[in-house]
Amino acid sequence: MGEVLGFKRPRPSEKHRGKTLCRSNFHKWEVVKDKQFDVRQGRLITVLRCARCGEMKVKAT
């Protein structure tokens, strides 16, 4: 008793807001390597990376 819980409100930082978007699958994709030849797939791919969370994905060109 005597302790007030929930008084301190966590302030969401810019970074946190971005990650919230990322979790909702709204990544900020940026091209890392455009039209790179993937030997395993035997075709051209584009490597994309999210500027916020750093997640990477590969898109077939």
Residues paired with residue 47 on neighbouring β-strands, in sequence order = 33, 58
Residue whose CB is less far from Zn ion, 26 or 37: 26
| Cβ 56 to Zn ion shortest distance, Å | 10
- Would you say 59 and 45 are in contact if contact means Cβ atoms under 8 Å apart? yes
**Which residues within the stretch 38-57 sit at the binding site for Zn ion (CB under 5 A)?**
50, 52-53, 55
Q: Which of 52, 59, 55 is nearest to 21 (CA)?
A: 52
DSSP character at residue 54? -
Among the listed ranges 4-12, 25-33, 41-49, the one in contact with Zn ion (CB under 5 A) is: 25-33
- Binding residues for Zn ion, rule: CB under 5 A, are 22, 27, 50, 52-53, 55
